[in-house]
Structure 1
Amino acid sequence: MRRVAKISAACLATAALALSATACGSTSSEKDSGSGKSSGSDKNGVKIGLAFDVGGRGDHSFNDSAARGADKAKSEFGGSLKELTAKTSDTEADREQRLSDLADAGYNPIIGVGYAYANSMTKVAAKYPKTTFGIVDSVVNTKNTDSIVFTEEQGSYLAGVAAALKSKSHHVGFIGGVDVPLIKKFEAGFVQGVQDTDKKIKIERQYLSHGSDTSGFASPDKGKEAAQGMLDKGADVIYTAAGSSGNGAIEAVSGKKGAWAIGVDSDQYNIPGLAKYKNSILTSVVKNVDVGVYDLIKSVKDGKPLTGTNSYSLAEKGVTLATSGGFIDDLKAKLDAAQQDIVDGKIKVKTTP
């Protein structure tokens, strides 16, 4: 589970440690837990700084996965955890200040949850060479940063296979939070999986926001509206990669008999906040952000911080397809075969639509 493929040449730093968090003041919310001192690490644990993307802890998806990794590390190693959550109004200056404040306060490691921290972390990590930073879903080329990336397209391909096999209307949909390269990986894999399974299936596609507008990751109302529109057109399986906006899409799908939602990042069937919709959640493309976050914190605790680019792939269970609810049990043979073909390189999954 924790075997990591190194895909860039960064060495393991022996410098001191750090973890990234989000901005304070009017552009973020914050939460402290535990008892740490002002140093980056003490004899009883580590000082973890966690900078969430928009939506923060409680989004039932991406941020919650990162939170599980930090919570596990804090439980095992002790110390403290400081959480800061971005707002959609954040500027680069806000993100830089957030990371700098955490570094100044001695948090180490400092983890930025989401690609939006890439530019700010590049600048801040260079200013604090003795702090270990981590970023999820992007690559920062500084010697003291662990870039935690995933093969989202591979898990999404399997979701596409499942959607094609389950759809009775031969009509499915994909909803993306923001039309950025990361989310287009989800779309590309899903569409390829659908089309490789049944070329005649119609595929609806929609993004909730564009460019620097990240509201598409934190707008359940937009997710619900987009999903309802697809359902009205005849789609009966909808895959949403849009953070907490996906909660709205799942709600919409639950209102149509025979329709299925496919969740993302966390196993959304098992999320308490979505319990009343769980019988409509076919599966989820689980991205084990918690594993990447935990691995980084543990490496800092052990005095051998991870750096460079670490890729968590389907072969290493960095991405998986959830089986909770048993709704895809009847598809197991075909899904297992598709997964093995990806792992063996027989299927090359695209990263762009």
Structure 2
Amino acid sequence: MKRNKKFLGLLLTVFILFTLTACGTQKSNTDQTQPAASEQAKVGLLTGVGGLGDKSFNDLAYEGAKKAESELGVQLKVVEPPDLASEEGLIRDLAKAGNALVVVVGFDMAEPLGKVAPEFPDTKFAIIDAVVEGNNISSLVFNEHEGSFLVGALAGMMTESNKVGAIPAMDIPFLNRFTVAYEQGAKYANPKAQVVVQPIGSDFSSFNDPAKAKSIALTMYNQGVDVIYHAAGGSGSGLFEAAKEANKYAIGCNSDQDYMAEKLVLTSMMKRVDVAVYDSIKGTVDKNFKAGTNTYGVANSGIGVTEMKFTKDLIGADKLQKLDDIKKGIIDGSIKVTDVTATK
């Protein structure tokens, strides 16, 4: 009997010790549990002046940031500048707000970012479409000329009049990069091709003037042009309206715009701004932020064309195979695409 009592006492002691240890362990885990780094990270996104709803690069940047917000748990603040003059102040405001990363969209942000970034050495910055020097700046640039060559080649293959067109927002080197390579691609695929280029305007409002883009496109179509490519941001919707009225072909830019005039938008030059923005945010969260110039092109799928789900049958297997061969040529270097902004 005494032995049983001793045994029961021993069991009780062990049970009490186990309970205390377990409680202590549980408490320790609770004390040590901290929010993931991504849950603490704040990210600011300053769109281009055109703002959201452009169905182009601003919307793409937003999509990449929203994906990071959903998957990485970052806190996202999105600001749309009313004009160019406000950009510097808004970049500074986002940095002051304690954002771990501030992403700015557009080459027009280069000068204001160059002024603000040195004031906040502990803040990371990323800029779309420009190179700005700084240990805390990631310059996200794209080989748009490669994608423009591809869609130019498709235009050259698809034209029946041997006249194709391009509508850039402005006549500036950055956008000439699109149109010159487009012309090169069209003539590579079709030496008889003539290329007509007509800019929309001379300031940044040209990125958000679909009525002017539509008017230019209708004039081109009436003059015998039967395929038109735009490099004009939100103005591109005007081209697609013109294509529907004229029942002629168009080519989209930056995002997948094929749905905006089904079976008339042959394809869109895909510029994966969404991927670049997501990569920058993830790099910040993972403590693997890549300052310097980060280039996205055909070789790393940062630039390309859509799957052409509305036009595959229309284009035909032979032309699609030729387009794929051209893509391979760009990647392996056997096809040299002109980049008018390249320094010699």
TM-score (norm 2): 0.85
Q: Choose between structure 1 and 2: higher strand proportion.
A: 1
Identity %: 39
Distance 2:236 2:171 in 1: 15
Could you say which residue in structure 2 is the equivalent of 1:348?
A: 336
Structure 2 residue 297 is the aligned partner of structure 1 residue 313: yes
Equivalent residue for 2:241?
A: 251
1:179 corresponds, among 171, 179, 197, to 171
Pairing partner for 2:59 from 61, 64, 67: 64
**Taking structure 1 as reference, are residues 43 and 118 closer, same or farther at Cα in structure 2, changes over 3 Å only?**
closer
**Which structure 1 segments of 5+ residues have no match?**
1-40
**TM-score normalised according to structure 1 size:** 0.83
Determine which of 200, 209, 214 is the counterpart of 1:208: 200
Q: 8 Å contact 2:117–2:134 — kept in the other structure?
A: yes
Structure with greater helix percent = 2
Instruction: Please show how residues 200-349 of structure 1 align to structure 2 within 5 Å.
Output: 200-210=192-202, 213-257=203-247, 259-270=248-259, 274=260, 277-324=261-308, 325=310, 326=312, 327-330=314-317, 331-349=319-337
Cα gap change, 1:43 to 1:63, in 2 (>3 Å)? closer
Choose which of 79, 84, 91 in structure 2 pairs with 1:90.
84
Report the count of equivalent residues: 302
- For residue 352 of structure 1, report the CA deviation from its aligned partner: 2.2
Mapping for residues 12-161 of structure 1, pairs under 5 Å: 44-87=39-82, 89-91=83-85, 94-161=86-153
- Shift in Å at residue 144 of structure 1? 0.2
- Once the two structures are TM-superposed, the CA of residue 294 in structure 1 deviates from its matched residue by 0.5
Distance 1:181 1:45, change over 3 A: farther
Structure 2 residue matching 1:244: 3-state secondary structure: helix
Give the match's secondary structure for 2:270: strand
Report if aligned partners of 1:153, 1:185 keep a CA contact under 8 Å in 2.
yes
Matches of 1:269 and 1:228, distance apart in 2:
19
- 2: CA distance, partners of 1:53 / 1:328: 34
1:283-331 deviation per Cα after TM superposition (whole angstroms, max 9, x unaligned): 0000001111000000001112121000011111110111232244532
* 1:168-205: CA deviation from partner (whole Å, max 9, x where unpaired): 11111000012222211111110000111222222110
* Greater relative contact order (Cα < 8 A, sep 6+): 1
Distance 1:45 1:76, change over 3 A: farther
Flag the 1:215–1:141 CA change in 2: closer, same or farther, 3 A.
same
